Structure 1
Amino acid sequence: MERLTRTVLAAPKTILIGAFVLLVLFGVYGGGVAGHLLSGGFEDPHSESAQAAKILENEFERGGIQVIFKLDAPNRDVTADPVVARVGQRLVTDLKEFDFVQQPILSIWSDPAAAKNLVSTDKSSTLIVVPLAGGENVAPGHAEDLADRFAGETDGVRITATGQGKVFADTNKQVSKDLFLAESIAIPISFVALVLIFGGIIAAALPLAVGIFAIAGTLALLRLFALFSDVSIFAMNLATAMGLALAIDYTLLIITRYREEVARGGSRESAIYRAMATAGRTVTFSAITVGLSLSGLLLFPQYFLRSFAYAGLAVVVVALLGSLVITPALLAVLGDRIDSGDLRKPVRRLFGRPEHGFIPVEQTWWYRFVQWVLRRAVPIALIATAVLMVLGAPFLSIKLGFPDDRILPTSHSSRVAMDEIRADYPRKLGGEVTVVVSGSSDRVVDDYAARLSAVPGVDAVTSPDGVFAQGRPIAPRQSEDRSGDHRVLTVVSNTDPLDEAGKALLAGLRAVPKPADTDVKFAGIAASTEDTVASIYRHLPWVLLWIAVATFVLLFLFTGSVVLPVKALVLNMLSLSATFGAIVWIFQEGNAGALGTTATGFITATMPILMFCVAFGLSMDYEVFLLGRIREEWLKSGKTRADSDHAVAFGLASTGRVITAAALLMAIVFAAMIASQVSFMRMFGLGLTIAVLMDATLIRMLLVPAFMRLAGRANWWAPAPLRRLHDRIGLSES
């Protein structure tokens, strides 16, 4: 750290010019990143449903993501009106001209047998269901192109585009709008808060400058990652939020320590060296901890989750680079001018208040407050733990599901159309389950189809040769639902694939004995949802183990203790369970108006683990800040029980103001995401805001000092072999 600081201070202006050039390059390259990112990535590509979808796509050219055209003709019967028929038939004919449109296109004109499912109960509207090739990566773009071309009004018939493909496309556009809105909210409010914290305009501008550098650099890296891997567009939200939040956090810690050293009477150059040797090193440890937590997302097969690992690792690296290089360079160039524009001086003169000089830590309010907590450690620990457990209780009833159009606000045309379909049509869309049977004869497949049709909740099952209901054939059929040794069965049902009835139907179908020597795979919304949730649960233990072991090892290397890492893990889990309890209570159960979103009775399956990794990393961020100062004071002491209490009080008092300020600023950044119009990103913003504030208050101000008081000198215990190992390879701020 000293060598890095010496290099920066040798040519600070050159460093800043280079950083500005990099910022421009980042901005040029990363400015158009949204056009290179994707809106899907929720499915496990190795799951049974995903493999079935591949077979349907490659062998049958069907089963793609759908765009649905809803034709409305008020006060007319769409099944008999010749004008509606002419408009609909022309639309079907035009759609067949596109290479990416798969067959069959379902409409009352191309498939009269489907009329009862594709006409509203009052017969004033009908649907044209169009499957699109390209999967979730390409199909949404095709859906957008078709909607732009065909949506509108023709001969009094209103045509609206909706369906999964259009919802994905609308979500892409909405995320970009939300991102701009969140930045427009977070940056000015953060600047005002920084002015209040630092007292001066110049000092307040430094963290924002590093934050903008971190955001631009991360977006550029995301575009680079998109050249080699699928990257979700939702990762941009994390890139901007964490870029600003971490850069402010890290810069705030360094500048605060720098000012502290100047107030002690040191020269500004020596203050920079001291700040970087202490706070700079802590920032580095903190960044590694956050990076390790987010890297756990790489273990998931869903690229939606992996994308957040890409964004998180990129933002940690760029924010750390900016903090360790740009911050000391700015401090060196500005010198005394960093305190110019200090708004506190005229305010003090106005009210006749004296200037504040250096105040010893032991005389601060923070030190007295921690001493008060230490004297009441047992009741505070019990009460705070009970509060967190009560807040976390709703988390026990969490239900995971798959996002649909209801993630969009009710004003979006695609959402409005889907709401109308749910209300006005007798049959649930997406209730069908597609079964791909490989390696069997037609007779065996038909026998299997008959047995599937006997499952409760099934209306009918179609095979290449017939239609079956209630366990017996009801009509012959000749179709192209066979290719090589693959046969396709379609299970028709009126169940909602996302509710409990849909799950029960799928379980019943999968429980039917499969034909011998055959491979059977289920596809459809219900199967995709179940496979996604199962995949998350299957990978979750490994992710949690990785995060726990990596965090434990790093904190052991940082503190030399095996007690403090365990304490940190337990308290963080306790805090996060309370955060998830609030999320379930609001967004799953619909309390507090579901915060302006639509409560669907479940949480989007990928969000809890994403929130856990991000929130856990950020909470460990503050843990490192705090333990760095506590350990620094502990090492200077005689290592008695009283010295341990003093070190806890001194460390928390030294960092209490900066951690609280950092948490407030980070909460502002994440709270700006609550303005998002995509429901699970609003949930993401609220969850992280709660997690950060709870961690900085209930955990850091109450539970940490209480538990460290109860542990006493045992806080620093480690077995002799590990103690010797730490003496050889341990990390230190000294």
Structure 2
Amino acid sequence: MSRTSLTVGVARWSATHPWRAIGLWAALVTTAVVLMGTVPTQQTTDADFRVGESGAAAAMLDDAGLAPTPAESVLVTARSGALDVPAATAVATQIGDRAADVAGVADVGAPVVSGSRDAVLVPISMTGGLDDALAHVADLEAVTAAAQADHPGLRVQQAGDASLQSALDEKVAGDLAAAEALSLPITFLILLVAFGAFVAAGIPVLLAVTSVVTALGLYAPLSHLVPDSGSVANVVLLIGMAVGVDYSLFYLRREREERARGRSTIDAIEIAAATAGRAVVVSGLAVTVAMSGLFLSGEPVFDALAVGSILVVLVAVIGSLTVLPAMLATLGRWVDRPRIPLLWRLNRRIGTGGISGRLVRPVVRRPVVSALLAGGALVALAVPALGMSTHQSTIASLPQDIPAVQTYLRAQESFPSQRPVVGVVLHTSVDGSDAARAAATAIGRDAARAGLVEADGQDVRVSPDGRTVAVSLAALHPEGDSRNGAAVDALRDSIVPSATRDLAGTTSAVGGPVAEALDVDRQTSRLPLVIAFVLLLTMLMIVWTFRSLTLALLTTVLNLLSVGAAFGVLTMVFQGGSGFVIDWIPLFCFVVLVGLSMDYHVFVLSRVREGLRRGLPYPLAVEAGIRETAGVVTSAAAVMVSVFAVFGTLDLMEMRQMGVGLSVAILVDATLVRLVLLPALLLVLERPLRHLGRVRTSAEAPEAELVPA
């Protein structure tokens, strides 16, 4: 056995000192759990997401103490027919009186009757920021619920910043909990089918779960440098289950193959470490490189996701090289116990590559035709992606069965003041509050005359020091309507500059929710930069691993085809319904898909190179590499596709788009790309790739010394 490979050395020590390795892993997991329980995870703040002129406006309001407080509204409407306005107003007055006594409520306005006299609104201001409002909104909702119970003939509903966020958080938490509860049994069931034995199926799940827990614990202190926006745990679970199962499958399948050939448990573990273990290390580095591309996005959400994902990948790699060999050495042949008789016999009868061997033979016989057909199919799937339109998530893309969402939209129909706000902030270097206030009033008046904002409900506020004046203007159209952007552009380009031209030393900024959405949409997309960065680094990794520029270019083409096909399906499925793909989905899906597809790619190519180093002719080495890895790749892909597909069934549009994009891409990559296009192109490019089987040094290719001819 070669003693020059680090993966072999680590595996040998773990296998010969199994309880020490298992104990060290248990200590690591326990430490992470303690960190998770004692170190609170730092969350992002609104200030972390400020961009452009709207971000400057928000900062000016904060500095002046004029930042808007969360608002709630109670809407009273008729269940059927015309509204009894006096009765509804009386109910609204009672609600206002009771709401004034609720902790966290700063002010309750007088009931407002809509112009069409079909609704009565109770405007309520909360104290503090959104977190404070979330802590008290349940008490306010109880008042609303009591009023509804007392007056069943009316419809009494509540919506606002805190109630909407609370309902959405509850919906997302419920959906994710259901998805996560389904993912584990689905994963275990697929692994049972793949292995035909309970212990073998449980080992990958155990490694994946402990890797996820460890990564989340280690992230807790790091969150004080890279705060969490609330989605790190979910993404870590997705990535952790995917790579944890992948790496265990690679390693465990190879160890079982070697034991079936008559090797001892320790020898089988060392061979698995030198082959599958080395592929795991390269795959882990590839996923890390891909996920690091998220740092280039400039978004705090993606920074946190990158840190969490990289952590769970590194932990999974370490676990597969240490505790996995220790468990295999401890269990020995008990890994294949207890067996499921039917599945066990079926797996033995089919054998390694029994089905895939039949699928790959036509590809080997006609590689050019196969490459053209598979490549053409992928290009056809990718074409719709050229028309992909991205946009921020809007109220219309939220689950419409959430009562607060329905109430929010209903309130905007009847009360223009409840529509999104366009805010203008003026800051003077000296106390010029009278002139600035006059300018703010003129801005509101001119914008209303130009038909850009509502004439009613304009609010002008002055800071205590008199140097900052803010005017809030209600947009003409409901939230998410692209026509609201015209008001922001007109205010920035002409109305505000004209009104402040004679105000010396005055700084102005147009902000508010409408401007914030516009500024985010108009940010220069970082997706091309991320794509270039990830593809370049993955190319360099392939060159370093396999010493082949041709193979690196081939890898890049396959990655682009897989991602393009996934984006094309995403566009076809969702753009016709919601009209857009949510803006963060393409970037996130790209880095995840490249990272996960590199797992399969490196594993398959490593087996092809093995065959060449054993002396197989090039076509046979390609066929054997595909045949011997197809079972593992298919099993791992089945796990990921099923888990991602569960997310595709959730109500939240963002989760649905992410689930569909990831599941389609993994399915396409594991079937059309790995079973057809990759072997076909490897055969077409035989001449420049023949050198893959050359052994440069024993340290560089330990598998050549370990794998029997």
TM-score (norm 1): 0.83
Deviations 1:95-132 (A, max 9, x none): 6x748x5xxx68454xxxxx47xx37443432425366
1:289 corresponding residue in structure 2: 286
The unaligned stretches of length 5 or more in structure 2 are 1-6, 430-434, 705-709
Aligned-pair distance for 1:698?
Answer: 1.3
SS in 2 for 1:457: coil
Letter in 1 for 2:49: D
1:629 corresponding residue in structure 2: 607
Letter in 1 for 2:278: R
2:9 corresponding residue in structure 1: 3
Contact 1:164/1:405 (8 A) holds in 2: no
SS in 2 for 1:410: coil
Aligned-pair distance for 1:197?
Answer: 0.7
1:595 corresponding residue in structure 2: none
1:427 corresponding residue in structure 2: 416
Work out the CA distance in 2 between the residues paired with 1:245 and 1:406. Answer: 32
Does 2:156 correspond to 1:182?
Answer: no
Contact 2:287/2:313 (8 A) holds in 1: yes
Q: 2:546 aligns with which of 552, 559, 582?
A: 559
Which deviates the most, 198-207 or 510-519?
510-519
SS in 2 for 1:496: coil
Contact 1:445/1:463 (8 A) holds in 2: no
Aligned-pair distance for 1:668?
Answer: 1.9
Aligned-pair distance for 1:607?
Answer: 2.1
Does 2:563 correspond to 1:585?
Answer: no
Contact 2:288/2:310 (8 A) holds in 1: yes
1:672 corresponding residue in structure 2: 646
Does 2:238 correspond to 1:241?
Answer: yes
Does 2:105 correspond to 1:125?
Answer: no
Change (3 A) 1:255 1:142: same
Work out the CA distance in 2 between the residues paired with 1:584 and 1:223. Answer: 36
Aligned-pair distance for 1:72?
Answer: 4.6
Does 2:485 correspond to 1:490?
Answer: no
Change (3 A) 1:438 1:631: farther
Deviations 1:289-314 (A, max 9, x none): 11111122123333222222122112
Aligned-pair distance for 1:76?
Answer: 4.8
Deviations 1:328-387 (A, max 9, x none): 111100111112222247974xxxx9965987x7xx553453342133333333332332
Letter in 2 for 1:662: A
Aligned-pair distance for 1:29?
Answer: 5.3
Question: 1:98-113 to 2 correspondence within 5 Å?
Answer: 98=104, 101=106, 107-109=109-111
Work out the CA distance in 2 between the residues paired with 1:541 and 1:727. Answer: 39
Aligned-pair distance for 1:214?
Answer: 1.6
Letter in 2 for 1:123: D
1:273 corresponding residue in structure 2: 270
Does 2:563 correspond to 1:576?
Answer: yes
1:418 corresponding residue in structure 2: 408
2:94 corresponding residue in structure 1: 87
Which deviates the most, 284-293 or 309-318?
309-318
Which deviates the most, 1-10 or 280-289?
1-10
Work out the CA distance in 2 between the residues paired with 1:708 and 1:17. Answer: 44
Work out the CA distance in 2 between the residues paired with 1:732 and 1:174. Answer: 51
Contact 1:482/1:488 (8 A) holds in 2: no
Change (3 A) 1:493 1:209: closer
2:515 corresponding residue in structure 1: 527
Work out the CA distance in 2 between the residues paired with 1:461 and 1:70. Answer: 19
Aligned-pair distance for 1:493?
Answer: 2.9
Q: 2:144 aligns with which of 122, 141, 151?
A: 151
Work out the CA distance in 2 between the residues paired with 1:703 and 1:529. Answer: 42
Aligned-pair distance for 1:733?
Answer: 5.6
Aligned-pair distance for 1:692?
Answer: 0.8
SS in 2 for 1:500: coil
Change (3 A) 1:132 1:621: farther
Work out the CA distance in 1 between the residues paired with 2:83 and 2:38. Answer: 46
SS in 2 for 1:152: helix
Question: 1:228-267 to 2 correspondence within 5 Å?
Answer: 228-267=225-264
Does 2:425 correspond to 1:436?
Answer: yes
SS in 1 for 2:230: coil
How many residues end up aligned between the 2 structures? Answer: 679
SS in 2 for 1:633: helix
SS in 2 for 1:63: coil
Deviations 1:165-201 (A, max 9, x none): 3232233333333333223211112212111111111
Change (3 A) 1:565 1:130: farther
**What is the aligned-residue RMSD (CA, Å)?**
3.6
Work out the CA distance in 2 between the residues paired with 1:448 and 1:412. Answer: 37
Deviations 1:433-471 (A, max 9, x none): 11223348536666655654554533449988xxxxxxx
1:474 corresponding residue in structure 2: none
Change (3 A) 1:38 1:65: farther
2:399 corresponding residue in structure 1: 409
Q: 1:378 aligns with which of 359, 368, 371?
A: 368
Contact 1:263/1:358 (8 A) holds in 2: no
Does 2:309 correspond to 1:331?
Answer: no
Which deviates the most, 268-277 or 508-517?
508-517
Q: 1:543 aligns with which of 497, 520, 530?
A: 530
Change (3 A) 1:108 1:703: farther
Does 2:220 correspond to 1:213?
Answer: no
Work out the CA distance in 2 between the residues paired with 1:248 and 1:316. Answer: 11
Work out the CA distance in 1 between the residues paired with 2:187 and 2:89. Answer: 61
Change (3 A) 1:688 1:354: closer
SS in 1 for 2:426: strand
Which deviates the most, 182-191 or 52-61?
52-61
SS in 1 for 2:526: helix
Letter in 2 for 1:416: Q
Change (3 A) 1:367 1:98: closer
SS in 1 for 2:522: helix
Q: 2:676 aligns with which of 702, 713, 726?
A: 702
Deviations 1:198-231 (A, max 9, x none): 1111211111111221222133234333344420
SS in 2 for 1:458: coil
TM-score (norm 2): 0.85
SS in 2 for 1:507: helix
Letter in 2 for 1:313: I
Which deviates the most, 233-242 or 159-168?
159-168
Contact 1:218/1:315 (8 A) holds in 2: yes
2:3 corresponding residue in structure 1: none
Contact 1:428/1:495 (8 A) holds in 2: no
1:469 corresponding residue in structure 2: none
The unaligned stretches of length 5 or more in structure 1 are 110-114, 465-477, 591-598
Work out the CA distance in 2 between the residues paired with 1:546 and 1:106. Answer: 53
Work out the CA distance in 2 between the residues paired with 1:40 and 1:420. Answer: 29
Letter in 2 for 1:387: A
Does 2:20 correspond to 1:14?
Answer: yes
Aligned-pair distance for 1:36?
Answer: 4.7
Change (3 A) 1:444 1:346: closer
Work out the CA distance in 2 between the residues paired with 1:221 and 1:677. Answer: 31
Change (3 A) 1:19 1:433: same
Letter in 2 for 1:420: R
Change (3 A) 1:453 1:269: same
Work out the CA distance in 2 between the residues paired with 1:294 and 1:215. Answer: 16
2:308 corresponding residue in structure 1: 311
Work out the CA distance in 1 between the residues paired with 2:646 and 2:686. Answer: 40
Contact 1:439/1:485 (8 A) holds in 2: yes
Does 2:586 correspond to 1:608?
Answer: yes
Letter in 2 for 1:125: V
Question: 1:364-403 to 2 correspondence within 5 Å?
Answer: 364-403=354-393
